[in-house]
């Protein structure tokens, strides 16, 4: 736990922190390349940084969708990113038995939105002593996430806990962001994060592949910083069209620096 805090609190810039990286770990070289680029930018703008990459994708629409390159192989790549660049790393877990395994390699265990009410999963994550990032369910209010925090704290009062909004279901194939959720979740005295890419998904497409609208990423991110989000979650890739998972709503890596510049200015103005 302390290692995570030491890694994250790298700067005293008053900036938001950033959780960013590819949706899924596709391979060693591309993961290290993406991490190197983001690390250089976050160092330049003094933004605390957590590298994000799913070691396995469990929630897929189609049976033949990409799920991963192998659990141990992907987790070792995440550990290599952390060791190489000295940054914390975060990955999703989907079942209770995964918590202890993933905790051997990463600093933050992420609870997917659809699973945020799964008591045993939350408790298993808390028992590892790692930080836990809980994504708010698309079907829940920000205020209701206090119960998820309670589940973590009841097992491990000292576990660093983060709450992340990723929009709410709107009809069958869209999401909307209600920024009141950030304000409500902040009342639980934990860092609150806006997921700027998953909140722009267009799920349940007849093609079986989730759509998205990456042109709105900057809008979601800027509004979140203005509202007072402590951190941002952004999936990014050097070639989103050919990414193996969630390419439709990822930010092109080349566009990240301009966005971070704008966000730092907004943060400074708000503060």
Burial of 229 (0-12, 13-18, 19+ CB in 10 A): buried
135: enclosing H helix or E strand: strand 131-135
pLDDT in tens, 54-86: 999 876 566 767 778 999 999 999 999 999 999
> Crossing angle of helices 217-227/256-270, nearest 10°?
20
Q: Place 214 in a pLDDT band, splitting at 50, 70 and 90.
A: confident
Q: pTM of the full predicted structure?
A: 0.92
Centroid of chain to Cα 21 = 9
Distance (Å, whole) CA 19 – CA 143: 23
Does domain 2-270 correspond to CATH entry 3.20.20.70?
yes
Q: For the chain, how far is it from start to end, CA to CA, in angstroms?
A: 28
pLDDT in tens, 32-53: 999 999 999 999 999 999 999 9
Whether 233 contacts 20, CB under 8 Å: yes
Centroid of chain to Cα 225 = 16
- Specify the pLDDT at position 13: 77
Number of neighbouring beta carbons within 10 Å of residue 252: 14
Category of 182 on φ-ψ map: left (φ > 0), alpha (ψ -120 to 50) or beta: alpha
Whether 195 contacts 135, CB under 8 Å: yes
């Amino acid at each position: 736990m302390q290692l995570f805090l030491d890694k994250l609190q790298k700067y005293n810039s008053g900036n938001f922190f950033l959780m960013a990286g590819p949706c899924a770990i596709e391979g060693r070289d591309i993961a290290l390349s993406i991490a190197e680029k983001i690390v250089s930018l976050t160092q330049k703008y003094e933004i605390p940084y957590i590298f994000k990459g799913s070691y396995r994708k469990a929630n897929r629409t189609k049976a033949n969708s990409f799920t991963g390159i192998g659990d141990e192989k992907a987790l070792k790549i995440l550990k290599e990113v952390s060791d190489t660049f000295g940054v914390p790393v975060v990955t999703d877990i989907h079942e209770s038995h995964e918590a202890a395994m993933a905790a051997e390699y990463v600093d933050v265990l992420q609870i997917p939105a659809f699973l945020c009410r799964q008591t045993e999963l939350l408790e298993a994550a808390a028992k590892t002593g790692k930080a836990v990032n809980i994504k708010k369910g698309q079907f829940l209010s920000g205020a209701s996430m206090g119960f998820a925090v309670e589940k973590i704290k009841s097992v491990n009062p000292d576990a660093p806990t983060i709450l992340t909004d990723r929009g709410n279901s709107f009809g069958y194939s869209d999401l909307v962001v209600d920024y009141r959720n950030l304000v409500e979740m902040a009342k639980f005295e934990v860092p609150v994060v806006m997921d700027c890419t998953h909140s722009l998904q267009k799920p349940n497409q007849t093609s079986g592949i989730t759509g998205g609208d990456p042109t709105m990423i900057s809008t979601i991110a800027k509004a979140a910083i203005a509202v007072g989000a402590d951190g941002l979650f952004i999936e990014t890739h050097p070639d989103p069209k050919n990414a193996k998972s969630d390419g439709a709503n990822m930010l092109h890596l080349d566009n990240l620096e301009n966005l971070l510049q704008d966000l730092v200015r907004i943060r400074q103005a708000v503060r």
